[in-house]
Structure 1
Amino acid sequence: MGVSGDAPAAGERSPSRAVVEAVAEREGVDVTDVEPPTYDPLYAVVNPEALDRLLAGRADVTLEFVYEGYEVVVRGDGRVDLSETGSGNEFRLDGSSGDHSAQ
């Protein structure tokens, strides 16, 4: 995969899909249930296509944002971490490695 925004290879899930799947798992619902009106669409906080292109082939990139009451951390290596957070709409992009909390 290149930085130019190649689509995920067969069998790979896109970062945007991984976020929705992680929220569904944490909420204890089917991934198809993470949709309006119960849940805000992912595009309400981040452009899913831009997210996928930004992280394509970029293991060194980490993107953080708040979605559905969770701080979402998406890493270019495919990992998605969720932690409960207060209200707010934070968006942070960090291309460095290590602790991202001291920005």
Structure 2
Amino acid sequence: MSKMENPSPKPSLRVLKKVADAEDVHPADLSPPLAAIVDPTALNHLFESTADDDSSRSGCVSFSYQGYEVVVSSDDTVELR
């Protein structure tokens, strides 16, 4: 099954959900918004494959948000530390 058939939520949405759940708030109520800390579009593009490339990128990126160290990994995980 390809990624196009069963796409996982974009990394920026996974970050918002994880932080909002940890803070027990709705994602829209997070302040500052994620976009004030990291470019959500750039975050989403970090690990996605291109149409002419079947391989995906590996690695992780981390940044501070809402008092957490957020780690987004290429295996679709988001950790709060």
Q: TM-score range by the shorter chain?
A: 0.7 to 0.9
**Bigger helix share:** 2
TM-score (norm 2): 0.76
How far off is 1:27 after superposition?
0.4
Unaligned runs of at least 5 residues, structure 1 = 3-7, 84-103
Unaligned runs of at least 5 residues, structure 2 = 50-55
Determine which of 2, 23, 39 is the counterpart of 1:47: 39
Q: What is the root-mean-square deviation of aligned Cα atoms in Å?
A: 2.3
**Equivalent-residue separation in structure 2 for 1:44 and 1:30 (angstroms):** 17
> In the alignment, is the contact (CA less than 8 A) between 2:46 and 2:57 conserved in 1?
no
**Equivalent-residue separation in structure 1 for 2:26 and 2:33 (angstroms):** 15
How far off is 1:11 after superposition?
5.2
**What does residue 20 of structure 2 align with?**
24
TM-score (norm 1): 0.62
Report runs of 4+ in structure 1 exceeding 4 Å deviation: 8-11
Q: In structure 2, what residue type is equivalent to 1:46?
A: V
Identity, % of aligned positions:
36
